[in-house]
Amino acid sequence: MITIYGMTDSGNCYKPRLLMAKLGRPFKHVETSSRDGTTRSTAYLAKNANGKVPLLELEDGRFLAESNAILLYLAEGTRLLPTDAYERALVYQWLFFEQYSHEPYIAVRRSLMTYPERAVLATPERLASLLESGNRALGVMEAQLRKTPFLAGDAMSVADIALYAYTQDASVGGYDLGVLPAVRAWLARIEADQGHVPMAWLP
Ligand SMILES: N[C@@H](CCC(=O)N[C@@H](CS)C(=O)NCC(=O)O)C(=O)O
């Protein structure tokens, strides 16, 4: 059986759990936290030299890191990854957007505001900058979702799973989803889709 190493309260780790639940596929979860040092242990670094979660372990013992690469691998051949080259490239576009223009702001602000050990890094200047950049990313999503029901077009894809993870609780980091009606309607569409589970769900 596939194993996912991850932290329960990390959005990056929620992405592959949510995908597996939506696909109805069983998997094993191994709680692997940065807060107790496990991600930097010798045993874990032998699995993923970058010391980050999530990490996928295949049945044959091979590993795959990076949440969005894991999504692409797991979604191959399913309804959540198009086969047409352009439609697939649109999915990649949103996955790269998530990693460069969304997660570094929205996920980081959330962590600064919720993890006590990170509070020292939460200077007013940094919080203000993260708020501005995160709101810009949410604005880009709002503009797209006013045109299409899902980020890459008419059908749900792994791009929606990736961006759902840290958008669904962006208010924890101080972002106001109340001013983003298309984003809120999109969140509800993903939640209504088959197999949906909340972030705290574990198999
Ligand atoms: N680009 C990576 C980011 C992974 C990442 O930053 N994971 C965090 C948890 S959300 C982590 O492993 N932190 C542990 C550490 O840095 O020690 C991905 O999308 O998988």
pLDDT in tens, 130-183: 999 999 999 999 999 999 999 999 999 999 999 999 999 999 999 999 999 999
Percent of the chain, pLDDT > 70? Answer: 100
> Looking at the predicted structure, is the pLDDT value of residue 195 above 90?
yes
Number of domains the chain is built from: 2
The last residue of a domain, from among 75, 100, 126: 75
What value does the mean pLDDT take over residues 77-104?
98
> Looking at the predicted structure, is the pLDDT value of residue 35 above 90?
no
What value does the mean pLDDT take over residues 68-79?
98
The last residue of a domain, from among 27, 45, 75: 75
Shared domain for 60 and 94, answered yes or no, is no
Shared domain for 115 and 152, answered yes or no, is yes
Q: Is the CB of 12 under 6 A from ligand 1?
A: yes
Helix (H, G, I), strand (E, B) or coil at 78: coil
Q: How far apart are CA 73 and CA 94, in angstroms?
A: 16
| Average pLDDT score, the chain | 97
Q: Which atom of ligand 1 is nearest to the CA of 65?
A: 20
Q: How far apart are CA 32 and CA 52, in angstroms?
A: 9
Helix (H, G, I), strand (E, B) or coil at 57: strand
Edge-to-edge strand list for the sheet holding 28-31: 28-31, 3-6, 55-57, 63-65
> Looking at the predicted structure, is the pLDDT value of residue 12 above 90?
yes
Longest pairwise C-alpha distance within the chain? 48
The last residue of a domain, from among 55, 75, 95: 75
Q: Is the CB of 102 under 6 A from ligand 1?
A: no
Shared domain for 89 and 170, answered yes or no, is yes
Domain that holds residue 178: 85-192
What value does the mean pLDDT take over residues 194-200?
98
Shared domain for 92 and 170, answered yes or no, is yes
Q: Is the CB of 66 under 6 A from ligand 1?
A: yes
> Looking at the predicted structure, is the pLDDT value of residue 117 above 90?
no
Q: Which atom of ligand 1 is nearest to the CA of 39?
A: 17
- CATH of residue 99's domain is 1.20.1050.10
> Which of 19, 36, 52 has most ligand 1 atoms within 8 Å of its beta carbon, as the pocket-test mutant?
52
Name the residue at shortest CA distance from atom 6 of ligand 1: 52
What value does the mean pLDDT take over residues 58-79?
98
State the pTM of this model: 0.97
Q: Is the CB of 34 under 6 A from ligand 1?
A: yes
Q: Is the CB of 53 under 6 A from ligand 1?
A: yes
Name the residue at shortest CA distance from atom 16 of ligand 1: 52
- CATH of residue 56's domain is 3.40.30.10
77 token code pair: 């051949």
Count of H-run helices and E-run strands, the chain: 8, 4
Q: Is the CB of 33 under 6 A from ligand 1?
A: no
Which pLDDT score is estimated for 151?
98
